[in-house]
Structures are given as structure tokens and as C-alpha cells.
Amino acid sequence: MAAFVAELLFDLVRILVGDWLRRAAVAVCAWLDTKIHGRAARLVVGGLLGLAAYFLIPIFAGLLGF
């Protein structure tokens, strides 16, 4: 029974943290969109963010157990 409750608790925490991270990412992207002007600058920043996400998403997914 304790293992079942622990599994439910871990799933709940994983869902809440994942949702919080998703909302934070959307808020940061919306803020950043208003700060960058020009197509070339947006491409450079988008490329850098994409490169960072390529390395960070698997790390966060591993830590959260996805």
C-alpha cells in the first residue's frame, strides 16, 4: 500500500513540476518576444534557445522521470 501511495505522490509531483516548467517557459518566451526586434536577431536567439533546449530537455526529463 505504501508503494502505491508513493507512486501516486511521485506522479502528482511530476505533473505539477512539469506544468510549472511549461508555464515558466511560455512566460519567458512571451517576454523575450517583445524585447527582440528584427528577423535576424530572432533567428539567432531562436537558434541558441533551440540548441540549449536540445541539451536541457533530456536532462530535465530524466530528472522528472519521463
Give residue-wise pLDDT tens across range 17-55.
Answer: 888 888 998 898 889 888 888 899 989 988 998 899 899
Residue 6 domain-assigned (yes or no): no
Say what the pLDDT of residue 8 is.
Answer: 87
pTM: 0.56
Does residue 66 surpass a pLDDT of 80?
no
Task: Examine residue 55 and state whether it is found in any structural domain, yes or no.
Answer: yes
Does the structure show a pLDDT above 80 at 59?
yes
**Is 42 within a domain?**
yes
Residue with cell 507512486: 7
**pLDDT at position 34, please?**
86
Residue 6 burial class via C-beta count within 10 angstroms: exposed 0-12, middle 13-18, buried 19 and up: exposed
The total of structural domains in the chain comes to 1
Return the pLDDT at 51. 94
Q: Which domain holds residue 44?
A: 14-64
